[in-house]
Chain A
Amino acid sequence: MVQIPNEELLKRIAEKFDQQVTLVGEPYGLLTVETGREQIIDLLTFLKTDDALRFIFLTDITAIHYPEQEKQIGIIYHLHSLTTNTRIRIKVFLADGDVHIPTATTVWEGANWMERETYDFFGVIFDGHPDLRRILNVDDMTAFPMRKEFPLEDPNRVDKKDYFFGR
């Protein structure tokens, strides 16, 4: 079990995807690349099925919100190649108002709930998902609570006002 060096892994991806996949960095040795939503499924399928890489294990799907960026919502995939013990992180950034990305459930069954959770908290629409409903929050919630503009506490609550505490 020999870990694939990051340069080799990046080269192998670049052979197939050329300029469509760009290097973000290698924080703590974990290769991080960015791509667009047009080729994300191709990239995931390639990483999973390529004989030398075999990233057969989907560790996690999640999202992040940067309100000050033009492309506000980032979708983050963590993959793991169990045969070579290599990990890779893939990011796709989407503009607010058009947060559509194809579903990864076609590649891994386990992406189902991870994508539902991401939808629930960030409002990312995974096109082609078999059952894209809220999962942890109540069904009739309208906001996407992990976005930065959503306050931690209800700003209308009055029970924490200073005058209740003699201040």
Chain B
Amino acid sequence: MQNHPVYTDNDPQNELSTLNLGPTHPATHGVFQNVLQLDGERIVSGVSTIGYIHRAFEKIAEHRPFYQITPLTDRLNYCSSPINNMGWHMTVEKLLGITTPKRVDYLRVIIMELARISDHIICNGVLGVDTGAFTGFLYMMEHRESIYEIYEEICGSRLTTNIGRIGGFERNFNTIAFAKLRAFLKNFPVTLKEFESLFNRNRIFVDRTKDVAAVTAETALSYSWTGPLLRAAGVDYDVRAMNPYSSYEDFDFEVPVGTNGDVYSRFLVRNEEMWQSLRIIEQALVKLEKEPTDIFHADVPEFYLPPKEEVYNNMEALIYHFKIVMGEIPTPNTEVYHSVEGANGELGFYLVNDGGRSPYRLHFRRPSFINYQMYAPMSRGMLLSDAIINMSSLNVIAGELDA
């Protein structure tokens, strides 16, 4: 722990106690270490140490072809990996100038909004657990399971989904997926309503969360906060509305905004976002009815891996398969920044390409990393128990924090 600023200078009488909160602690929901200096139960100062699960994704990405980087993005925010997957695909599509059919866009929107709901379910459910209300969490987790079952129908996996391909999806949505989606749209609002009535005006919950860790809009902007945290502080910045991608401009939805940026506002903003996501999914299902049902990827044989049966039986598919895998297709020698609205905020991909099969440099703008840096400074003067629920409501995901 050399160079680690463990404080001795502000405590000459040795009256304060030091608490190692993390790296593995049941209240932190992930690998976060905070060395806190406590005066009784009040935090005097704190230092965050991160990087415990750093896996050098940016370095690995420089050695991998574009389509093999998707599984790396899964492991950023693993509570909503489809958003990361789609964000990456759209970055590459922007680089290559691929336009996707509307049906692909709408299917992507459905998946991304499901992912947003599943992420918010965890965050708000766990916030309830940390304030002592376990029931809501159990009610909500049931529906995360149904979301994962929808993923499973579409791509075969649940948590690290690797969903979709550059140009679209690897296979069409089957009827079971749509049936499960409709069942989810029918069942989830009932639970969400119940969840809200359990919490929103619950005296104990409101007392625990209101005015805790309140952040002004100026501070939030200065710390480059994005997502529900920034919106709870009163800034209506949402990438989906401001720089629409994947045909978000076709949808009618509201961007919920809070007033004082405290834990309670963030909770309400996330709940409202779930309602808006449901609205978007329902609109997408209506729009899908007007689209041809057999289109699930763009017509870009140079970049979209052909199905295996065709590779074995069709000359052209074999050639394209070979060219894609061996990286023999030229790509533009330029740079691109693309961002999507992740569940935690603006998830950006800065891709510098030199015309080869893998990126020259790839940088992930990870909202959790940028949001979390305020945690230690804002904990000063806070009660330890408040700092715990503040961490839950920041919804920092260790995979995204450490990349």
Contact = CB atoms under 8 A, between A and B. Distances in A.
Given A82-B237, A137-B51, A62 B60 contact: no
A108 B224 contact: yes
Interface stretch (B18-26, B29-37, B196-204, B346-354): B346-354
Given A57-B224, A110-B223, A89 B337 contact: yes
Given A135-B50, A137-B51, A137-B54, A59 B365 contact: yes
Given A59-B346, A87-B337, A140-B2, A109 B222 contact: yes
Contact of A56 (B221, B363, B403): B221
A78 B337 contact: yes
Interface residues of A, number: 40
B336 interface: yes
Contacts of B4: 139
Interface string B161-199: 000000000000000000000000000000000000000
A145 B223 contact: no
Query: B63, B337, B365: which has the most chain A beta carbons within 10 Å?
Result: B337
A158 interface: no
Place the interface of chain B in its size category.
35 or more
B336 A146 contact: no
Interface string A63-101: 011000000000010100010010101000000000000
Interface of A: 25, 27-28, 30, 32, 56-60, 62, 64-65, 76, 78, 82, 85, 87, 89, 108-110, 112-114, 117, 121, 131, 133-140, 145-146, 150, 152
B313 interface: no
Interface string B231-260: 000010100001100000000000000000
A109 B224 CA distance: 8
A56 B226 CA distance: 13
Interface of B: 1-5, 50-51, 54, 56, 58-60, 62-63, 94, 219, 221-225, 235, 237, 242-243, 334-337, 339, 346, 348, 350, 352, 360-361, 363, 365, 369-370, 372-374, 402-403
Contacts of A76: 350
A62 B373 CA distance: 16
B30 to A, nearest CB: 15
B221 A62 contact: no
A136 B403 contact: yes
A150 B62 CA distance: 12
